[in-house]
Amino acid sequence: MKTTRRGDLIINGLGSSNGGQFHLVTLNGNGSINSDIECEELECNGTGTLKGNVAATSTKVSGIFRFHGNIEGEKLKVDGTIKIKQNLSVKSLKISGKAHVEGRVKADEVNLHGIFSVGEDCEAENFKGKYRFTIGGLLNAEQIDVEIYGDCKAKEIGGETITVKPHKGSFIGTLFKPFYKTQLETDVIEGNQIVLENTVAKIVRGHKVKIGPNCHIGVVEYTDEFSQDKNSIVGDIQKV
């Protein structure tokens, strides 16, 4: 985003602004912006609300913030908690905390190390995730590589290469494994190369399909290669 030199907007403590065009916007404490905002950098610390649409080259959320409109830009990094009432469109999305988008998500890169929920579709070039996600519509990306922890869900999943496995790097997760369900649930998975563990799906379609342990699949349709772990259940296997 190219802009001429603009002023900065800084809110410390309790305060509000009517929005506008700025270079740097920083919200510290409990701040709010009541209309659309356009800026190069947006930093959200503490708690606050942005009631309009946001167009920012770079947005970072370290506190607890609610966005009532759309967010678009180059980068969004979430270290705290963010709620977006409408749609999100960025090139790079990094989530280390918790993010909830009620509408659609479109990104080049999604890197998840926390909790991510999307009300509608999520579209990306690369979707790499650890821990938990819920996608209300289609999760679509060329490369999908996820390590799940807890209950993960998506209506449908589509991509070139799809890999799903449980996250094994947490001591707490190992300690409470008998009591904590780690599983991906979806209706349909469709791709070229598919490797699945801990997955429940009605239909899996692909060229090369590997069903690893702890899966329960209704139907697998494959064209080239298929293998199945002895600890998984597949209702019907069809070579097409």
Long-range pairs for 1-6 at CB < 8 Å and ≥24 separation? Answer: 1/38, 1/40, 1/55, 1/56, 1/57, 1/73, 1/74, 3/38, 3/40, 6/39
pTM, rounded to two decimals: 0.90
Other Cβ atoms closer than 10 A to 43: 19
The pLDDT of residue 156: 98
**Residue numbers in the chain where pLDDT is lower than 50:** 1-4, 170-176, 178-179
Other Cβ atoms closer than 10 A to 40: 20
Quick: pLDDT tens for 71-81: 999 999 999 99
Residues 6+ apart with CB under 8 A from 10: 24, 25, 26, 28
Domain positions in the chain: 1-96
Tokens of 238: 């069809």
The pLDDT of residue 176: 45
Return the closest-CA partner of residue 1 out of 17, 21, 27, 26. Answer: 21
Quick: pLDDT tens for 160-211: 999 999 987 644 444 445 445 799 999 999 999 999 999 999 999 999 999 9
The pLDDT of residue 1: 42
Tokens of 1: 């985003």
- Where are the alpha helices (H) located in the chain, listed in sequence order? 171-175
Tokens of 198: 């801990």
